[in-house]
Amino acid sequence: MVEDKIRKAAALRPALPKRFYTAVSVGAAADGFVVVLDGRAIKTPKRRALCLPTKALAEAVAAEWEAQATVIDPATMPLTQLANTVIDGISETASAVAESFVTYARADLLCYRVAYPESLARAQAEAWQPVLDWAEARLGARFRVTTEISPIAQPEESIAAIRAACAAYDPWRLAALHTLAGVYGSAVLALAVLEGHLAADRASAVARVDEVHQASRWGEDAEACRRAEALAAEAASAARFAALVRRDG
């Protein structure tokens, strides 16, 4: 049944454009680096110059375009998509995106625990509390934890600390940060990755404590596993994007 749904969804997708270029290269520009297809620099969906801040990121984006065989599939080009998002959107709305990121801190995954079963409560505490302890030590953000369903208010000074940490990121790394928060459901985990405290794959595992516990009791669900793999891949790409932005190329 799942396979049928996937086939039907694929049939409804618009046809992908064919690869129209032969050579892919990287060139220098006044404000950074561009990816060139047969002598012409790539543009974003809004027809803006796709100018990248480091040569390392430009080379990685160029590799995505080179890897397209007969058609161009944006789903296989996460770095290109993030770059487009920065140039066409986040560069003009960075403050709004940053505030959107802060909302994840107000209802952070790591702060909502269970009291029962004890095995899950223990697994959550062992995986999540060290990350919250890191946030307090590194960022000055102390979070409250609850086992209730109702939302709890976090200390405003902690929210201010998260906002300040977020403000230190340029639009390029802010795009990666916001993507990670969306994948994990946690601003703290996103910051832990970009600050180098956790690898993206480790943070993905930390965010999935509940799912892993459920699978240990009831067995793996194929569709849930596919979704988890897709989210982990998205997180890894966002973390890689941020790392490539930081290289001086």
Q: Which of 8-12, 16-20, 166-170, 214-218 has the lowest mean pLDDT?
A: 8-12
**Chain segment 64-106, per-residue pLDDT in tens:** 999 999 999 999 999 999 999 999 999 999 999 999 999 999 9
Look up the CATH architecture of domain 2-73: 2-Layer Sandwich (3.30)
Give pLDDT, residue 14.
80
Distance between CA atoms of 78 and 160, rounded to whole angstroms?
31
Give pLDDT, residue 208.
97
Q: Say how many C-beta atoms besides its own lie within 10 A of residue 21's C-beta.
A: 15
Give pLDDT, residue 4.
59
Give pLDDT, residue 201.
98
Give pLDDT, residue 217.
86
Query: How large is the average pLDDT for residues 48-62?
Result: 97
Give pLDDT, residue 8.
56
- Judged against a pLDDT cut of 90, whether residue 182 lies above it is answered with yes
Distance between CA atoms of 126 and 112, rounded to whole angstroms?
14
- Judged against a pLDDT cut of 90, whether residue 200 lies above it is answered with yes
Give the model's confidence band at 18: pLDDT under 50 very low, under 70 low, under 90 confident, else very high: very high
Q: What does the buried/exposed string (b/e) look like for 165-198 if buried means 16 or more CB atoms within 10 Å of the residue's CB? A: bbeebebbbbbbbbbbbbbbebbbbbbbbbeebb
Pick one of 3.65.10.10, 1.20.58.340, 1.10.3210.10, 1.10.3580.10 as the CATH number of 83-246: 1.10.3580.10
Give pLDDT, residue 148.
93
Over pLDDT 90: what percentage of the chain? 88
Give pLDDT, residue 9.
52
Over pLDDT 70: what percentage of the chain? 94
Give the model's confidence band at 249: pLDDT under 50 very low, under 70 low, under 90 confident, else very high: very low
Give pLDDT, residue 218.
86
Give pLDDT, residue 5.
52
Give pLDDT, residue 10.
52
Give pLDDT, residue 72.
96
Give pLDDT, residue 190.
98
Distance between CA atoms of 116 and 218, rounded to whole angstroms?
16
Distance between CA atoms of 245 and 170, rounded to whole angstroms?
10
Distance between CA atoms of 241 and 56, rounded to whole angstroms?
10
Query: How large is the average pLDDT for residues 200-228?
Result: 93
0.85 exceeded by pTM: yes
Give pLDDT, residue 246.
84
Pull the structure tokens for residue 216: 């240990």
Residue 239 CA: distances (Å) to CA of 21, 26, 121, 130, 244: 29, 22, 29, 21, 9
Higher-pLDDT residue of 130 and 8 is 130
Contact 48, 87 (CB under 8 A): yes
Give domain limits for the chain. 2-73, 83-246
- Judged against a pLDDT cut of 90, whether residue 26 lies above it is answered with yes
